[in-house]
Amino acid sequence: MKINNSLEHPRWYDIKCKCNHDNVETEYPISSCLHCKFQECQDSLPKKDFKSKITVYDKKGFPTGEIKTRTVKEITIIRGEKYQDIMGWFF
């Protein structure tokens, strides 16, 4: 899996975790913690190639009913400007 727009050290890495993990009420997601929020987004990225189903359209743009499967080997991350956090990704 190739990941475009990956960063060695995005800005949010330096935001410290504010959670107190002794209690569920004082840790993310009940308690707000930017570090854990951004970590969660990063952990949700695919790490391996995966298969994706694609609808096949005819020349007029109508679905033919045929579904093709393709292997996604490359994704691109969309980052927030302020924290350089992962806002989403596409392939």
Interatomic CA distance for residues 86 and 42, integer angstroms: 6
Question: Which residue in the set 19, 34, 41, 72 belongs to the binding site for Zn ion (CB under 5 A)?
Answer: 19
Nearer to Zn ion, 19 or 72 (CB): 19
Residue nearer to Zn ion on the CB measure, 36 or 75 = 36
In one-letter notation, the amino acid at residue 10 is: P
- What's the one-letter identity of residue 21? H
User: Is there binding between residue 12 and Zn ion (CB under 5 A)?
Assistant: no
Q: Any contact of residue 36 with Zn ion (CB under 5 A)?
A: yes
Q: Counting contacts by CB under 5 A, is residue 33 touching Zn ion?
A: yes
Burial of 72: CB neighbours in 10 Å, binned 0-12, 13-18, 19+: middle
Of 75, 76, 74, 58, residue with least CA distance to 66 = 58
Calpha distance 48→71 (Å, rounded):
10
| 38 interacts with Zn ion by CB under 5 A | no
- Judged by CB under 5 A, the residue of 10, 12, 28, 38 near Zn ion is 28
Residues that bind Zn ion (CB under 5 A): 17, 19, 28, 33, 35-36
